[in-house]
Amino acid sequence: MLSYGARGNETTFALEDAVSALEGGYRSKLFPTGLAAIAVTLMAYLKAGDHVLIADAAYGPVKQFCASQLANYGIEFSYFSTSADDWAAGIKPNTRMLYVESPGSLLYDMQDLPAMAAVCKQRNVILCADNTWGSCLSCQPLKLGADVSVVAATKYLGGHSDVMMGVVTTQEAAFAPLETASVNFGQIVSAEDAFLVLRGLRTLDLRLQRHAQSALSLAGWLVQQAAVRTVFHPALPGDSGHALWLRDCTGSNGLLSVEFAPGISTARFIAAAYRPGRCRRVESRLDHATLIT
Ligand SMILES: Cc1ncc(COP(=O)(O)O)c(C=O)c1O
Is residue 152 in contact with ligand 1, taking CB distance under 6 Å? yes
Domain, as residue range, for 167 = 10-198
The CB of 12 under 6 Å from ligand 1? The reply is no
Residue 171: inside a domain, yes or no?
A: yes
Is 285 inside any structural domain? yes
Q: Indicate if ligand 1 lies below 6 Å from the C-beta of 240.
A: no
208 and 144 within one domain: no
User: Does residue 140 belong to any structural domain of this protein?
Assistant: yes
Q: Are residues 211 and 181 in the same domain?
A: no
Q: How far is CA 183 from CA 1, 7, 31, 73, in A?
A: 12, 7, 11, 19
Which residues, 6+ apart, have CB-to-CB distance to 199 below 8 Å?
160
Residues 98 and 232 in one domain: no
Q: Does some domain include residue 3?
A: no
Number of Cα atoms under 13 Å in the Cβ half of residue 230:
12
Of 65, 99, 100, 155, the residue with max ligand 1 atoms within 8 A of its CB, to mutate for a pocket test, comes to: 155
- The answer, yes or no, to whether any atom of ligand 1 lies below 6 A from the CB of 34, is yes
The CATH code of the domain that includes 281 is: 3.90.1150.10
Ranges assigned E (strand) in 87-140: 95-101, 126-130
Q: What is the pLDDT of residue 163?
A: 97
Kindly state whether residues 176 and 212 are assigned to the same domain: no
Q: Where are the beta strands (DSSP E) in the chain?
A: 27-31, 51-55, 76-80, 95-101, 126-130, 148-152, 166-170, 228-232, 257-260
Whose CA is closest to atom 14 on ligand 1? 59
Closest atom of ligand 1 to 133 CA is 1
Task: Say if residue 124 is in the same domain as residue 242.
Answer: no
Q: Domain check: are 109 and 242 in the same one?
A: no
Domain count, the chain: 2
Residue closest to 55 by CA, chosen among 7, 119, 106: 106
Q: Looking at the structure, tell me whether residues 180 and 274 fall in a common domain.
A: no
Q: How far apart are the C-alpha atoms of 180 and 163, rounded to whole Å?
A: 25
User: What is the CB neighbour count within 10 angstroms for residue 191?
Assistant: 15
Same domain (yes/no): 247, 163: no
Do 98 and 116 form a contact (C-beta atoms < 8 A)? yes
Last residue in a domain, options 198, 219, 246: 198
- What string of pLDDT tens digits covers the 293 residues of the chain? 677 888 999 999 999 999 999 999 999 999 999 999 999 999 999 999 999 999 999 999 999 999 999 999 999 999 999 988 889 999 999 999 999 999 999 999 999 999 999 999 999 999 999 999 999 999 999 999 999 999 999 999 999 999 999 999 999 999 999 999 999 999 999 999 999 999 999 999 999 999 999 999 999 999 999 999 999 999 999 999 999 999 999 999 999 999 999 998 888 887 777 666 665 555 678 888 777 66
